[in-house]
Structure 1
């Protein structure tokens, strides 16, 4: 059985390189990628300890979407395919009780007029260890932009990212309230 291992490995690698060569088509895109970014009202996440008010000392966890990058590829009449990379910054406040926290965020495909065509939710975990601040990047692939035909450009669409928030968290963001790290001094 071991005699055939090199032959099997060569066949597997040959199949991978053929598939990879097909994916790395260097033909320029037929048009621009959709605009991508975070939605202002949902780009920040602040979780307070229940029932104690919106004080700095009551913050459990925070999060912020710091950057969004979109990569797309046109394939003739096939829908536009995109991948998005989202950078997060996370914080652990004075009222936090654990060294990890799960954050839920969404990626939505919209028309330029704001109509949501598709929306999917994802979870990411922050691990704070000894620090109070951490960050990470998440990569979401296989985002399909539904073009009616190949004459429709990606510029007619947007890809929006944001945290899933409670009504109270959304109101906090909309009120413009902010906490700075030195606010307790």
Structure 2
């Protein structure tokens, strides 16, 4: 008798109550857009001279922390790390880095782009700053016939056209499809 009560409570806890349980969400892919993972700011942007590098910022290690269903949406929480270095061309000990988080559909089309700014303060004792940030409540409502696991959450630094060209020429990376839409 006790065994039956335990089995009944375990079955209820596991969702075997006759109700149709919603399957666990397929979590979106999280990453950093290669072309926009790094930004170098020079004292004279028209003359990118490494002897006059003001700031060098790089995004690293973007990862999904959690995702769960809330009604008809998948809600995700992500984490990323970054490193920033101040250089000899800096005119201030503080820099504001424009960033973005973009939601990409299964065909590679940007659906949403949320801008943000990361303020970084340097000191003589700490010319290199490393930090991690979490971003929560990223909502994905999959379109009919599409799975939430086929969507992407991409992070990047909002670059100028000159910075983007500099990154591409430095790394000789091919351009990702639809990146022009993310740069707007």
TM-score by structure 1 length?
0.74
CA contact (8 A) 1:68 1:87 kept: yes
CA RMSD of aligned residues (A): 2.4
CA contact (8 A) 1:108 1:116 kept: yes
Query: Among residues 150, 154, 163, which one is paired with 2:157 in the alignment?
Result: 163
Unmatched runs of 5 consecutive residues or more in structure 2: 1-13, 16-21, 172-184
SS at match of 2:170: coil
Query: Among residues 98, 102, 113, which one is paired with 1:104 in the alignment?
Result: 98
Give, in angstroms, the shift of residue 144 of structure 1: 0.6
CA distance in 2, matches of 1:114, 1:104: 23
1:64 equivalent in structure 2: 58
1:154 equivalent in structure 2: 148
Count of matched residue positions in the alignment of Structure 1 and Structure 2: 152
TM-score by structure 2 length?
0.74
CA contact (8 A) 1:33 1:71 kept: no
Distance 1:141 1:76, change over 3 A: closer
CA distance in 2, matches of 1:113, 1:75: 22
SS at match of 2:162: helix
Query: Among residues 120, 128, 132, which one is paired with 2:127 in the alignment?
Result: 132
Listed one character per residue, the Cα deviations across residues 108-142 of structure 1 (whole Å, up to 9, x for unaligned) are: 01013211111101111111112221111122111
Any residues of structure 2 matched to 1:39-58 within 5 Å, and which? 39-50=33-44, 53-58=47-52
Kindly indicate whether residue 89 of structure 2 is the aligned counterpart of residue 89 of structure 1: no
CA distance in 1, matches of 2:23, 2:167: 37
Any residues of structure 2 matched to 1:24-35 within 5 Å, and which? 30-35=24-29
